Structure 1
């Protein structure tokens, strides 16, 4: 039994590249990975001879293109190479959504089992949520290309299974009419050795946000809530500012209680200097940074849309998107109760220890084994629900 795994990103790079590496590592450990196709790769345990690198100019070389045409061209080139690579005798072909539709068609035409990975909500749900979110600020959002939406939906129809990382993502597919027979929930993981708890809590209450400082991540909601909470502490913001909303952040610049830290490579250390992690996102699949914050022993203030494995009242305080007052109340509550911060933080570390990256790779390997054996999505979902911790 052979599997092909493809990702149109830097394999073992940041973000989705890390997720892809952990999945492929699980397949490699299980002896299932025969071919890896990626947009460049960093050295890992996967043998070099098994890797097909797709060459495409880096983002900086094509600055004259906006994001959507750049990614459209990148995926088109990736699909061309991936189609050739997938022409072998593979039992399972595993693709990330929208990156290689031609390869998906080829796989189904050859009778191969097809797994589609979707790290966010259903493409139509995602588009609707983001259009509505930008409209709240009077910003005209350029939605996903119709062709890209059509390709995503076609891949959902072709797939034998669709891997979703969280209950919200899973539910979005049901709401869009995708048969539950296809859906498999497969939460991500954390590097429990790199992200470790602090020795002692900070002397001053400190809330930390890591992500793009933009509409999708709820940054304006966070800043407005910070003002209302009046904790007397500090708010640290890590990440780049979204151009569309850049000027709306002006009222909070040059504030002694708010630190704009930009992009940082020392995120584990910053997490260990915080009291609480705040992530009021509007749309995600299952944000990796929430796993990382929990691994550092931080309680979370998050939306259900963040896809965190933390549970309301046990490791986190959950709020709805855009709810400034609820977020302010959560910040004020934790700032006033250091014992609760420590209680939730210890529970967060215990909880995320059930989701090491090795478990994610093992889940993906099990999906491939069962697909190759001809099992249905329902049978695979049942197998993953037995003996594995779940996101509630």
Structure 2
């Protein structure tokens, strides 16, 4: 951190994709916004800037120039990420002494991480998901169990080149940024040291996701909602099985908002045809759907965080989630949590809240009380604190190494003459 009264952390934020687009691009965009609000001095290098960032953020895209931009689809995501990484690493060479920490994202940071290490700049690598090898393995196993074949270009279809590059990034970065305890666990199980894994959180936009101010009609039918890409890893098949096992399916409604992989939709077709299940497709009114639903279901078999969990809580919609989701969802406090793949437990949770509206309201109220702690601005404050701790840790380690080297050098200076002395006789 530079000298001065404010002691702002100067972060180089490298994101190889379209900052402000959907999914991880939205997450990264909100991170930049939250960091700026928290007081960080942010220099952002996205591949492309998809939507504006705060005025106090300096932005210099790597793969776009004015209205001209490189097509990720045309050149391929991997090649685009490698180009981005090369450009950022070259820029970083010119910024020595002007950056306190580098925040990088997977697949587009290997050369940048190496350059930062050589320049003595600490790095953190974002992990928006579980360890990639773990994710590939559990999704492949579940697909085989279901008889669903993923297209070769699907994000969770096994890709050796992606895995090899990402694992090299894991090894060289100083710290891995993990948004949930589940993500941490997938790295610990593969032999990573606990000190390399640092926790932070994602948030939600409280200006879009907020509760309905009107009192809920106790006679209204029970509504369960699923939001997001309808993929095997999200466990929608478990949600459907649990829903149809519960009496809630007799008089309630299960809304599914999101696009399906065709093979997955075909596999689930008989359950999707049940009269209580409504497939909505991709929707742009997710906040309204959450406000009008009683519970959100997310029985993921592997997950990074699950943004919809905090968005649901902020909307007054109670999460029913697997233990692969964010630990901000606490069982019997603001959510009901089941072990991955436990359909009976999930069916029991659906039934419990269908029949016990007092418990439903209690969980809902507790979730709403936590809102100030789970917004994107709150996440930005947490991340800035993580930066400060990482910079201090890196500086301490570097000072310790310097002391050891000086002591060793001093010892060598004192011992060398004695070791080299020989008796000369004539």
TM-score scaled to structure 2, two decimals? Answer: 0.81
User: Structure 1 residue 221: deviation in Å?
Assistant: 1.2
Measured after TM superposition, the shift of residue 46 of structure 1 is 4.0
CA distance in 1 between counterparts of 2:16 and 2:103 reads 12
Of 138, 143, 146, 2:160 maps to 146
8 Å CA contact retained: 1:26, 1:365: no
Establish whether residue 80 from structure 1 lines up as the match of residue 86 from structure 2: yes
Who is 1:382 aligned against?
Answer: none
**Are 2:149 and 2:263, in contact at CA under 8 Å, matched by a contact in 1?**
no
* Map 1:104-253 → 2, pairs under 5 A: 104-141=113-150, 143-198=157-212, 199-201=214-216, 203-231=220-248, 232-253=251-272
- SS in structure 2 opposite 1:188? coil
Q: Aligned-pair distance for 1:115?
A: 0.8
Q: Is 1:303 the equivalent of 2:311?
A: no
1:291 equivalent among 277, 294, 310: 310
Please name the residue that 1:3 is paired with.
11
Change (3 A) 1:376 1:48: closer
Per-residue deviation, 1:57: 4.9
* SS of the residue 1:52 aligns to: coil
Superimposed CA distance per residue, residues 129-163 of structure 1 (whole angstroms, 9 cap, x where no aligned partner)? 11221121123456432222222222222111111
Alpha-carbon offset, residue 79 of structure 1: 1.9
Q: Is the 8 A contact 2:287 2:315 kept in 1?
A: yes
Larger Cα-atom Rg: 2
The equivalent of 1:338 in structure 2 is 357
CA deviations on 1:73-131 (whole Å, 9 max, x unpaired) are: 33223223322332222231110122221222222122221111101111222122112
User: Residues 261 and 353 from structure 1, CA distance in 2 versus in 1: closer, same or farther, beyond 3 angstroms?
Assistant: same
> Contact 2:42/2:58 (CA < 8 Å) preserved in 1?
no
Partner of residue 293 from structure 2, selected from 271, 274, 289: 274
Is 1:50 equivalent to 2:97 in the alignment? no
CA distance in 1, matches of 2:52, 2:263: 36
* RMSD, aligned α-carbons: 2.3
**Distance in structure 1 (CA, Å) of the matches to 2:142 and 2:12:** 37
The residue number in structure 2 matching 1:388 is none
Contact 1:310 1:351 in 2 (8 A): no
Compared with structure 1, are the counterparts of its residues 340 and 35 closer, same or farther at alpha carbon in structure 2 (3 Å cutoff)?
closer
> Residues 246 and 28 from structure 1, CA distance in 2 versus in 1: closer, same or farther, beyond 3 angstroms?
same
Find the residue that maps to 1:136 and give its secondary structure.
helix
Q: Which has the higher contact order (CA 8 A, sep 6+)?
A: 1
TM-score by length of 1: 0.87
CA contact (8 A) 1:41 1:53 kept: no
Structure 2, unaligned stretches of length 5 or more? 2-9, 398-426
* Greater mean alpha carbon deviation, residues 171-180 or residues 315-324: 315-324
Change (3 A) 1:31 1:293: closer
Structure 1 stretches lacking a partner, 5+ long = 63-68, 379-392
Instruction: Tell me the residue number matched to 2:6.
Output: none
Deviation larger for 32-41 or 126-135: 32-41
Separation in 1, partners of 2:279, 2:325: 22
Query: Paired residue for 2:400?
Result: none
